[in-house]
Copies of this chain bind each other. A is one copy, B any other.
Amino acid sequence: MNSKVKKLAEGKNFAYVATIRKDGSPQVAPVWVDHDGENLLVNTTNNRAKFANIKRDPRVAVAIADSANPYNKVIVYGKVIGHETQGADKHIDRLAKKYLGKDEFPWKNPKEQRVILKIKVEKAVE
């Protein structure tokens, strides 16, 4: 993960994650993002299309643009190399702090389980 990807993932910027649906067609969704120093981290739930998609085919493309200047952007091609429920509630709280300025994620739904997706960056283009 190069410094540009890191910096854009550290900013209050949305990541647009593209995945592949069962019929081979694309899906795309804006999500909050950060990183663990090595991989991009995205927080989703166990009942989202995105999660079903990456379990079937872990290949993703992720666009991150600087919210202050959308022409400063990066497109990442990579793979979801792990998905973890452990720590996922704390992670969504950290993201809520970054994106909403709130200590806790305000839209918790007890029917959903949060999941952290670890995205290995294989290629980044500007």
Contact = CB atoms under 8 A, between A and B. Distances in A.
B27 A18 contact: yes
Q: Which of A16, A57, A75 has the most CB of B within 10 A?
A: A16
A77 interface: yes
Contact of A61 (B18, B24, B63, B70): B18
Interface residues of A, number: 25
Contacts of A65: 14, 30
Contacts of A73: 30
A26 B75 CA distance: 11
Contacts of A14: 65, 70
Interface in A18-62: 18-20, 24-30, 57, 59-62
B18 A26 contact: yes
Given A14-B70, A65-B14, A70-B14, A25 B20 contact: yes
B75 A29 contact: yes
Q: What are the nearest 6 A-B pairs in CB distance?
A: A18-B26, A18-B18, A18-B28, A16-B16, A25-B59, A28-B61
